[in-house]
A and B are shown apart, each in its own frame.
Chain A
Amino acid sequence: MTENLVLAAAEVTPAASAAWLVIAIPLVSAGILLLAGRLADKWGHLLGVAASAASCVVACWVFFAMLAQPAAERAQDVVLGTWIAGGSFTLDLGLQIDQLSMAFVLLVTFVGTLIHIYSIAYMEHDPDRRRFFAYLNLFVAAMLTLVMADSYLVLFVGWEGVGLASYLLIGFWNYRTEYAVAAKKAFIANRVGDVGMLIAMMIMFSQFHTLSFSGVFAAAAHASPATLTLIGLALLLAACGKSAQFPLQSWLGDAMAGPTPVSALIHAATMVTAGVYLVVRSGPIFEHTANARLAVLIVGAITLLYGAIVGCAKDDMKKALAASTMSQIGYMMLAAGLGPVGGIFAIMHLLTHGFFKAGLFLGAGSVMHAMSDQVDMRRFGALDKFMRVTWLTMMAGWLAILGIPPFAGFFSKDKIIEQAFVPPDGQPWQAWVFGLVAMLGAGITAFYMSRLFFMVFQGKARWTDGQHPHESPPLMTVPMIILSLGSIGLGLVLTLVKFDEYLAPALVEGHHGEPVLNQYVIMGSTLALVVIGAWIAWVKFGTKTAVVPVLPPAADGLVRAARADLYQDTLNNALLVVPGQALVRGTTEVDEKVVDGAVRGIGALFQSIGSVVSRLQNGYVRSYAATMLAGVILLVAIVLAVQG
């Protein structure tokens, strides 16, 4: 391994050639934790944290070594060896070290490490804590494989790996049936997306005879638009499955069944953004197909409104956050569909979102920790006095997602809205539609996030009996504080270090267009909408006089629909599950009656033949000899007859 590595990596920097360690460390740790079994119960969580932290350290080393290179030479393809050698088709197992993947790697390892630390305390009383850390490590390794892959096939390995880890972690408490069902739902929705991924790879392979990024992107420049559109749509389907975008969004809300750190890491900060990464990474394909780009835009726009509307009606704190995640990823998807410039802001929003949403989730976990695992926001209220740290860190996250300057969200989300107003391909109607949708989404976001924040921390206490809210231990609060620092300052920092210039070489070249409105007008109106949304929420839920019913009040159609996730499950049920079940029942019937009948008939036939034949097996040697002699006679007779 090492020798090949050195030879293959002759032209890459030593740091980059060690990049495989970033993946290998958590993977090995996961293997140890799973194989050691109960032996590792005492120290398993420590190993898990250490593996994640070590991976983060190596990632930092690789990152800074990459920064030391001139911008044009930063992208490196580290070949680890040949994976598939099939005649004319060879596929190298390699890692792509460039600005895009490293941004992701840092996010995954850093936030991942914080959440690992948080989990030590959060999962302290769980008998299966070691297994939990094993799965977390597995997830980290798979996610890093996904983002560091240098070909679609390697990416697919990570893609499936995170799907598996997500399934295992959502169903971590699988003794509760609904959690197990939620895990299954997530898994199946992801499989639907995977079909898209597989189709995309098959088209690539049949058309371009390669699956490596460099090969595919080189070939994409000369491919027919129809092919590229097909690939783009298939990739979009894959992204929808993984990132819970419309129409495959239904699993994310139920995925909140998993432990809260899982929701923070996988279903907010990292895995669900893999779809965005896929679209941004496949920029050279989408660049040549306006139709696929439009599809991405539509999906993003629908999802961002969808998530926002659902978020307004949810009383379950984690589900409201999940809806918010869906909506925010809708923003990223929208940005990714806007082309290379939008892609930069998509990634930037992805990074800031990773911090503030993880912070919000960890805060939610802290609140649940304090309120004996309740999640109904109608039974919270006035917690600010009891949980100062949680309150402050969540406030940072709340302001960040609202996009209040100078918090992180302002620098990323506002740019996306502004970019949405830039007419793509010279079609102003698109700019107006998507720009206004994005702006409206910001207002709704402000309302539901403020609603969440106020219902939890402000207003009057509506606790159930016997609650003694208390602040969480430092192991939980310290990661929250660090993440809240990111929520406050990451946007500003990224802007100051000129993140767009850093990332640009990894993407196709884009050109800045002019928005149809003046950018300050856009910024002003967005801020105004945000303030209005937050003010409505304050009036309804935040003031000391605001009356928040303990039970959800009767409501009109839209709220009822939003509470029911806009009937996504009903729709899925009617469109997919019921016909599917009918199909399965029919198939089962056919299987039982026809196939099994045939099989059983054959079995019975041979049984009766056997029982007849077994009479010949009477144990008498002489009978056997007679049979043998009969055979000899028959053979001789045949030979004689044939010879004439």
Chain B
Amino acid sequence: MSAMTTLAATDPSLVMSVPEQILFWTVGAIVVLAAFALLFSKRAVVTACAIVLVMVGLCFLYFALQAPFLGVAQLVVYTGAIMMLFVFVLMLVGVDISDSFIETIRGQRPLGVLFGLGLLACLGGAVLKSTMPPVQGIPQDPEVSNPSALAEILFSNYAFTLEITGCLLIIAALGAVIMTHRVRLTKRITQGEIAAIRLRDGMRLTPPPAPGNYARHNAADIPALDAGGDVIEDSVPTVLRMRGQVHRLKGVAQDLLPDEVPATRRPDAVPPAGDIPAVAETPQQLAAEAEAQGRKPEAGEGEVKS
């Protein structure tokens, strides 16, 4: 440390200007604090947002380091593309998925902390021990902007590397396509086939009645009523019915209920209040029914929720 201070004392060019110091300390603190979200945040979405903050902060630092082109690129590539991709994937695997902090590998966490400190000591030691040259600064030519200067090197000395990198990007894109590609294991069910199944099994041929009809509420979880004032269970989406989220008419529109004992004509249509309708459908039938209702079957919804 003393060596560095003496060096700094002898060579004023190593010293940062005051505005740069202010920028460094502010942004540096924000960046480090945000980066700690990686270690301590339970929810991946929060972490992703924190990393976006880190990236933006780094963009400022890049400008301070006289690299405007890379600063912009950092903003566009990292925050704009890469981190958005992360968020997109998070959405795909479940946004509210949270990580458990119970460590499964014995001794891994202390080991991680130990190694982290060791690495920091090593890197910091290497930085502090090295004798740095006087800062020369990127040559500032008003005629040649930073991107132009970079481009000159890139397309002359590093043209071949650039080509190779292009290949790499194409291969990566293709690889991603191939890896996420799924071969269809079952035959695709066409609309005609669905109609045929319905006709064969005596199922409803028309679209189901929309929920909320003849009710004070037109929410999707309120079953429709038929002309006799009875509940039509089919009008509620299958998923809601399976989850037991069907609202009873009793709860929302007392006055519409018949005075007499309900559901004499259709005893099967009204399950006891608050109960889950008995659903004994096979997954195939369920899928077919869901498709018939104009919705995609949502696989795995339950797991994500739980």
Contacts and interface: CB of A to CB of B under 8 A. Distances in A.
A and B touch in the complex (CB under 8 A): yes
Given A632-B119, A633-B118, A622 B126 contact: no
A605 interface: no
Nearest to A644: B129
Interface stretch (B87-95, B107-115, B286-294): B107-115
B23 interface: no
Contacts of B174: none
What is the predominant secondary structure among interface residues of chain A facing chain B?
Answer: helix
Contacts of A623: 105, 108
Interface in A614-636: 618, 620, 622-623, 626, 629-630, 632-633, 636
A633 B115 contact: yes
A575 interface: no
A35 interface: no
A640 B118 CA distance: 13
A88 B119 CA distance: 63
B262 interface: no
A613 interface: no
B249 to A, nearest CB: 54
Nearest to B118: A633
A546 interface: no
B122 A636 contact: yes
A629 B122 CA distance: 12
Greatest chain A CB density within 10 A among B105, B122, B126 is at: B122
Contacts of A629: 115, 119
Interface string B92-131: 0000000000000100100110010011001101100100
Contacts of B115: 626, 629-630, 633
Greatest chain B CB density within 10 A among A626, A629, A633 is at: A633
Contacts of B108: 620, 622-623, 626
A272 to B, nearest CB: 74
Contacts of A639: 126
A636 B129 contact: no
Size category of the A interface is 10 to 19
A626 B119 contact: no
Contacts of B125: 640
A636 B108 CA distance: 22
Contacts of A620: 105, 108
A630 B112 CA distance: 10
Contact of A636 (B105, B111, B112, B126): B126
Interface in A586-644: 618, 620, 622-623, 626, 629-630, 632-633, 636-637, 639-640, 643
Interface in A482-497: none
Interface in A466-501: none
Given A629-B115, A633-B115, A622 B122 contact: no
Nearest to B120: A633
A630 B129 CA distance: 21
Contacts of A622: 105, 108
A643 B111 CA distance: 27
Nearest to A623: B105
A116 to B, nearest CB: 68
Nearest to B116: A629
Nearest to A636: B122
B122 A640 contact: yes
A640 to B, nearest CB: 6
A634 to B, nearest CB: 9
A626 B123 contact: no
Contacts of A636: 119, 122-123, 126
B161 to A, nearest CB: 26
Interface in B223-241: none
A631 to B, nearest CB: 10
Given A633-B115, A633-B118, A640 B129 contact: yes
A639 B130 CA distance: 12
Contacts of A640: 122, 125-126, 129
A37 B11 CA distance: 92
Interface string B125-147: 11001000000000000000000
A626 B118 CA distance: 12
Contacts of B119: 629, 632-633, 636
Interface string A413-445: 000000000000000000000000000000000
Given A620-B105, A633-B122, A636-B123, A626 B112 contact: yes
Contacts of B122: 633, 636-637, 640
A626 to B, nearest CB: 6
Contacts of B112: 626
Contacts of A637: 122
A626 B111 contact: yes
B260 to A, nearest CB: 66
B132 to A, nearest CB: 15
A618 B105 CA distance: 10
B252 to A, nearest CB: 52
A359 B218 CA distance: 122
A623 B125 CA distance: 25
A25 B203 CA distance: 88
A633 B123 CA distance: 9
A643 B125 CA distance: 12
Contacts of A626: 108, 111-112, 115
A10 to B, nearest CB: 60
Nearest to B122: A636
A600 B115 CA distance: 39
A234 B122 CA distance: 74
A624 to B, nearest CB: 11
A637 B115 CA distance: 12
A639 B129 CA distance: 12
Contacts of B105: 618, 620, 622-623
A636 B126 CA distance: 8
A158 B125 CA distance: 77
Nearest to A618: B105
Contacts of B129: 640, 643
Nearest to A633: B118
A633 B111 CA distance: 13
A630 B107 CA distance: 14
A633 B120 CA distance: 9
B122 to A, nearest CB: 4
Nearest to A632: B119
Nearest to A620: B105
Greatest chain B CB density within 10 A among A618, A620, A623, A636 is at: A636
A116 B129 CA distance: 93
A637 B111 CA distance: 18
Nearest to B123: A636
Contacts of B123: 636
Nearest to A637: B122
A544 B105 CA distance: 105
A513 B25 CA distance: 121
A44 B26 CA distance: 98
Contacts of B126: 636, 639-640
Contacts of A632: 119
B241 to A, nearest CB: 42
A472 to B, nearest CB: 78
Contacts of A633: 115, 118-119, 122
A248 B129 CA distance: 83
Interface of A: 618, 620, 622-623, 626, 629-630, 632-633, 636-637, 639-640, 643
Given A630-B118, A637-B122, 17 more contacts: A620-B105, A623-B108, A626-B108, A626-B111, A626-B115, A629-B115, A630-B115, A632-B119, A633-B115, A633-B122, A636-B122, A636-B123, A636-B126, A639-B126, A640-B125, A640-B126, A643-B129
Interface of B: 105, 108, 111-112, 115, 118-119, 122-123, 125-126, 129
In the A-B complex, list the 5 residue pairs whose CB atoms are closest, starting with the nearest.
A636-B122, A633-B118, A629-B115, A633-B122, A633-B119
12 contacts: A620-B105, A622-B105, A622-B108, A626-B108, A626-B115, A629-B115, A630-B118, A632-B119, A633-B122, A636-B123, A640-B122, A640-B129
